[in-house]
Structure 1
Amino acid sequence: MVRMLRPFTRAVTYTRWLHLFVACVWPTIWALIDSSRMYVAVAVLALAGLVPAMRTAEGMQADTLLLGRRPGVENPRSPGSAKNPEIPESAGSARYAEIVSTPAASWGDRGRTVLWLQCRLFLGSAVAILTIHLPMLATDLAATARGGTPDPATFVQVPGQHWWHALLIPLPIVLLAGVVVGAGRLITVLALRLLGPSPAERLAALESRTEQLLERTRIARELHDTIGHALTVAVVQAGAARTVRDPAFTDRALEAIEETGRTALEDLDRVLGILREPERPVSSRPTLVEADRLLESARASGVKVDAEVTGPLETVPGPVSREGYRILQESLTNVLRHAGPVPARARVRVADGTLLLEIRNPLAGETPGPGRGSGLRGIRERAALLGGRARTGPDEGDWLVRAELPLG
């Protein structure tokens, strides 16, 4: 019983009822003018559906009255939003079902708007007629139960007194309640189908969502590489200074921590600036031309880096050079984090239309597996994004990170 009465405790049940009644305004006005030509009203309504702006008007009205949305509130069926109990289950077969309020952009959108207007007209008219006649039927049943005369405009035309009609009085009211709830859900389902986004609009929304996710992933990767490198250097330097207990070494360690922290703060400010101002260009990100800074930072942390750089780094395209810098940074960070102050070999070569990055260090301490770690996964993702490839894992007693990035 509580479940049956629950729809009548929600405002959206009554706004849907109102939405169906509004559909009857046009035929009612036409009937007052010329009831013998109702087909003309239907034809005019169909022509109105071909106007692109009609989809906007119908979408806004349906979105407010059928889904119970307030203007400016996130769509209850949009990704990441909570499930709205006001929307029936049958209406939510599509995961991101919604009603759009943009002008019709194609003849397919116009055709669906015309069909929507006709469905709304006939369903609304039926509900309006039942809303008027079912309460009158209950009144007539009460009248015939007392022996009165029924209204000639209503359904029951049984003269005389029939006491048992009193038992039937609740039925029209219950039927009206079912009509209100059922028709409201039906019109909502039709609105989601006919006023929902077209396949082209769904594809555009999916592409936009994908772009947002890719941007979030890129920013998360930037923060991981930058902050992870700075913290790793700081931890290694602080631990070494405490172990050595040499004032001169401690001063050098503090200088390295200060320099690394300053660079990390600059990178963090840049990433946060991109979040605040998405239109800000990414050209300020470091490139391989600044690789010496990375190598010196690693050397200051105790890693003996044997670097070999061949080829004109300044000719490497910006996107490739920036991603190559991050791959080199993450590789050196992994050396510090997992192997400690061990000899490492870094080779950067630009030749034959390819940027080759190869970092080797002896296997020591904790070594991540080929598929573990967000840093290693980030290296592979960066390479794949540029159409290249990356390999990470043990190789002849060393830990190897090798990335090949095409320059084209």
Structure 2
Amino acid sequence: MTRHVRRWWPDAALGVLVASAGAFEMSARSIGRWWIVAVLAVAVGLFRRAPVAAAALLWVLLYAHLRTGSTLLITEVTTALVAYGAARWGRTVTVWFSGLSILALGVLGVWLVGTRLDIVLPLVPLVDAATLKRVLVDPPGVGTQVALIPLGLALVGFGPPWLLGLAVRSIDEARRSRALQHLAEDHAALAHQQVEREREIAELRAGQARLARDVHDVVGHSLAVILAQAQAAAYLQDPDEVRATVDRIADAARRSLQDVRTVLESTQVEGAAVRAQRPPGTLDALVTGLREAGHGVESTVIGVPQPLPPELETVAYRVAQEMLTNAVRHGDRREPVHVEQVWSTHSGDGAGQLRLEVRNTVAADAAPPQRPGLGVDGMVRRLASVGGSLDARLHDGWFVATASLPVRAVLR
């Protein structure tokens, strides 16, 4: 309730001021009617909150003006205030209605001067009607000029307040438009910052996932090789063979530490440099390392190997590393692991496909996996990132993992 009163009290105070001025004018000039002053006060009280109602009340007063011959000067002041309020705070229709009302008031005055001069002359405030008729109407040749006076008075008396209200309205709308524009720009800036934060978080999570896959591949492969050698060493009788096996275990551990260090160092490089990081070795080096660790490996290369871009070379290396790790970990250690590389070229520009296949026999007492491990999921993600695919399945006692990668020529 207090807020509602606060919104209306300036209008009510202005209405009281107009009523007081009208009462003073009525008392000083001994003219007018109290109800006209009351309507004027209400119209002024509404000129900001309800300009249409205020304008309608003034048209009612105009009719009363003509019927009663009231000549209160406060009426013109009120009309000017309502014209300003309609242009300043009214809706678009109200602005047009008030502007046309001023023009219509002038035209009506012209018509009345031309047809009902006896009604118009008494309505002019502060001037005796007989004197006005003697000065403006009786001299010959001035009838047309006199007829246009009401139009000029309406435009000059009420036009400027209406134009002033329209100007203030335009200034406020421009200010509000600028404020909305600044608000929209602020929201856009906040949205951009949010997008940047989300992008940074996504890049961070992608880097964490990439690091986890790399560490898993490196450590998993090395531990699988070390475990296989350690288990084999338990059955060796010759001290020299035991010493050689221990040396191979130490070499595998050192290579694993170096690979982990390389992976961790790669996280210090940002952007394209991370993607351009090449793997620590080649596909042939993986096969050779597994063979040197004492595990049987049969390797076949079909087609002509060709250099790969860094991202494809890294994916091929890590996928082959994980497939060999799974073969050593879950396969029959008495049987060799079969590795096959198939290079095919579809066109003269070097584009083609690399198919990596790793096969190993499955031990008769091996339990089937309950669910795919992290390694399989990591291989699928790596291959999908370069448009490749993975197929892994059991077939007649063999576990066969096949990875397909698109091959693109290295840009010179």
Which TM-score applies when normalising by structure 2?
A: 0.50
| Equivalent in the alignment of 1:400 | 400
Q: Is 2:248 the counterpart of 1:252? A: no
How does 1:291-306 map onto structure 2 within 5 Å? 291-306=283-298
State which of 327, 336, 347 in structure 1 corresponds to 2:340: 347
Alpha-carbon contact 1:294-1:329 (below 8 Å) kept: yes
Indicate the residue corresponding to 1:363 in structure 2.
362
After superposition, the Cα gap between the structure-2 partners of 1:212 and 1:398, relative to the gap in structure 1 and judged at 3 Å, is same
Q: Which has the higher helix share?
A: 2
Say which of 218, 223, 244 aligns to 2:210.
218
- The answer on whether the counterparts of 1:386 and 1:406 sit within 8 Å (CA) in structure 2 is yes
Contact 1:370 1:393 in 2 (8 A): no
Amino acid paired to 2:204: Q
Question: What CA distance in whole angstroms lies between the structure 1 residues aligned with 2:275 and 2:265?
Answer: 10
Distance in 2, Cα, partners of 1:367 & 1:383 = 27
Shift of 1:44: 7.6
Following superposition of structure 1 onto structure 2, how do residues 268-287 of structure 1 map, counting pairs within 5 Å?
A: 268-279=260-271, 280-286=273-279
Q: 1:396 to 1:273 in 2, by over 3 A?
A: same
Offset of residue 396 of structure 1: 2.4
DSSP-derived class of the 1:348 partner: strand
Kindly indicate whether the alpha-carbon contact (under 8 Å) linking 2:233 and 2:245 is maintained by their aligned counterparts in 1.
yes
Return closer, same or farther for 1:255/1:201 CA change in 2, 3 Å cut-off. Answer: same
Partner of 2:375: 375
Is this contact kept in 1: 2:275–2:311, CA < 8 A?
no
State the match for 1:26 in structure 2: none
Alpha carbons 2:389, 2:404 under 8 Å: kept: yes
Paired with 1:400 and 1:202, the residues of 2 have a C-alpha distance of: 46
CA contact (8 A) 1:369 1:393 kept: no
Cα offset, 1:278, TM superposition: 2.7
Change (3 A) 1:268 1:318: same
Aligned to 1:234, the other structure's residue is in SS state helix
**Are 2:337 and 1:329 aligned?**
no
The question of whether the paired residues in 2 share the 8 Å contact of 1:371 and 1:377 is answered with no
Q: How far is 1:252 from its partner? A: 2.3
Question: For the structure 1 residues 385 and 282, does the alpha-carbon distance in structure 2 shift closer, same or farther, using more than 3 Å as the test?
Answer: closer
**Residue deviations 1:60-112, cap 9 Å, x none?**
xxxxxxxxxxxxxxxxxxxxxxxxxxxxxxxxxxxxxxxxxxxxxxxxx23xx
Change (3 A) 1:299 1:345: same
Structure 2 Cα separation of the partners of residues 301 and 44 of structure 1: 80
In structure 2, how many angstroms separate the alpha carbons of the residues matched to 1:222 and 1:50?
Answer: 50
Deviation at 1:301, TM superposition (A): 3.5
Distance in 2 (alpha carbons) for counterparts of 1:311 and 1:259: 32
Contact 2:332 2:360 in 1 (8 A): no
What is the alpha-carbon distance in structure 1 between the residues aligned to residue 210 and residue 274 of structure 2? 14
Aligned counterpart for 2:307 among listed residues 302, 309, 315: 315
Q: Is the 8 A contact 2:278 2:310 kept in 1?
A: no
Shift of the 406–243 alpha-carbon distance from structure 1 to 2, 3 Å rule, reads same
- SS state of the match for residue 313, structure 1? coil
Change (3 A) 1:382 1:361: same
Cα distance change of structure 1 residues 367 and 267 upon mapping to structure 2, 3 Å threshold: farther
Q: Offset at 1:257?
A: 1.7
Q: Which runs of 5+ in 2 are unaligned?
A: 1-164, 346-351
Q: Is the 2:359–2:401 Cα contact (8 Å) retained in structure 1? A: yes
Whether the 8 Å CA contact 1:306–1:345 is kept in 2: the answer is yes
- Partner amino acid, structure 2, of 1:241: A
Q: Give, in whole Å, the separation in 2 of the partners of 1:394 and 1:312.
A: 29
Aligned mates of 1:392, 1:293 — CA distance in 2: 23
Cα distance in 2, alignment partners of residues 284 and 255 from structure 1: 30
Q: Indicate the SS of the match to 1:49.
A: helix
Residue 360 of structure 1, CA deviation: 0.3
Give the residue type in structure 2 aligned to 1:355: L
Question: CA shift at 1:361, angstroms?
Answer: 0.5
What residue identity is the alignment partner of 1:387? Answer: G
Shift of 1:202: 5.0
3-state SS, counterpart of residue 244 of structure 1: coil
Give the share of equivalent positions with the same residue, in percent: 26
Rate the CA distance shift 1:276–1:204 in 2: closer, same or farther, 3 A.
Answer: closer
| Offset of residue 282 of structure 1 | 5.0
The DSSP-based 3-state class of the residue aligned with 1:267 is helix
| CA distance 1:370–1:402, shift in 2 (3 Å) | farther
Q: Following TM superposition, by how much is the alpha carbon of 1:204 offset from its aligned partner in structure 2, in angstroms?
A: 5.0
Query: Quick check: which has more Rg, 1 or 2?
Result: 2
Q: Following TM superposition, by how much is the alpha carbon of 1:324 offset from its aligned partner in structure 2, in angstroms? A: 0.9
What amino acid is aligned across from residue 324 of structure 1 in structure 2? A
Report the CA distance shift for 1:296/1:368 in structure 2 as closer, same or farther (over 3 A).
farther
SS where residue 276 of structure 1 aligns?
Answer: coil
Partner in structure 2 of residue 236 of structure 1: 228
The whole-number CA distance in structure 2 between the counterparts of 1:344 and 1:202 is 50
Q: 1:49 aligns with which of 176, 179, 197?
A: 179
What is the one-letter code of the residue matched to 2:257? L
Which residue in the other structure is 1:91 paired with?
none
Question: TM-score, normalised on structure 1?
Answer: 0.50
In 2, Cα distance between the equivalents of 1:378 and 1:335?
16
Shift of the alpha carbon at 1:362?
0.5
Structure 1 unaligned segments of length 5 or more: list them.
Answer: 1-35, 56-108, 114-193
SS in 1 for 2:267: helix
CA shift for structure 1 position 256: 1.9
